Structure formats: structure tokens, C-alpha cells
Structure 1
């Protein structure tokens, strides 16, 4: 059993090209132009998305509140390594801690506050 389907499709494609008087060169040039336009569109989308991200970062940074801590403040400590032991309902904040010393570059010296009682 043999199959002549690919030859038949190729023959019909050539027959249609001849019937419609289409030119392979013009069709391939049009396809290359379409691909170039698609590449330009993708590049413009990439540029506009990076511009949008930059504007959103600027917007976010303008609205961040500067926090200054003084000795005696009670603070909570964020545990960024909690994802090693994932628990949905576990709090990522520990504390409270008492600020004992304020160091440069937003560094703090903390001391654990003993809990007064329980709920």
C-alpha cells in the first residue's frame, strides 16, 4: 500500500498558484515583511513594558514612608526565610523586640521582650 498524498497536495498547491497567477517571490517577500513588522511590534511592546515598570517603581518609591526608630521602640522582626518550612497560616513576623541601640544604615540592636502573660 502506498500513499501519494504529499505529491497530490504539492501538485494542487502549484496548480492553485498557477491558476491565481501568484508569485512565489512576492509571497516570500510579503512573509518576510510581516515577520519584520512582528519583530518591531514585539520590540515596541518590550520597551513600553520596561517604561511602565520604571514608572510604577518611581510611583511606589515616592509613597514609601521613611521610618526612624529610637531606643525604646517595640518592633517586630520579619522572617524572610520562612519559606523553607511552608505553613500557610504561620506568621512571618516574630517579636516584639525592644530597640536597644540605633546604628547607621538602618541597623538596629534588638533585645527580646519577655511576655507579661498569655491570652
Structure 2
């Protein structure tokens, strides 16, 4: 058995020092890739942070579950955008202006 193992090592030109250095270089490459992936995921998370927060007025609700939000700016301009309704949360802080609508029904 030893003879066959020795023959296989010679046939494959096995050098333990060369194999060890190759393994070290591969481990360093893997560690470098892991660090790059960590850095890129961190920067990607920064890009994904929501750029809007606060109470908004719902302008329109679409049948597919999307909601158009409206944010009146201080300079009087109306800013609106469409988001998935599942991404919305109830606003639980501070005073919010309450809007109400009164409808008068008349008999025809």
C-alpha cells in the first residue's frame, strides 16, 4: 500500500511545501473577497436606507396595493411618489392634522 501511495505522490508531482503555499494564497484570496463583500454590502445598505420619514398624506390608493403619498414642503411645493402599501407604517409620534370629509346625501 505504501508503494502505491508513494507512486501516486510522485505521479502527481506532489510537493508539500508548494501545496502549503498555494493553500495559504487561496486562503488569503478568500479572506480578501470576504472583506470586499462586507464593504460592498455595507455601502449597499446605506443606499437602501429610506430617504423619507415622517407623516405623509395618502393621495391615491391603487387597486394593486400601491399607494401614492404626498408631502407638502415648506416652500409650498407638493412632492408625491408611489410606494408599496406594505412598506408603510402607522405614524405614532406627535400631533398630526386630522382631515375629515362631510358628505351630504340627498334623496332623489
Q: TM-score, normalised by structure 1?
A: 0.41
Q: Which has the larger radius of gyration?
A: 1
Larger relative helix fraction: 1
Which of 1 and 2 has higher RCO (CA within 8 Å, sep 6+)?
1
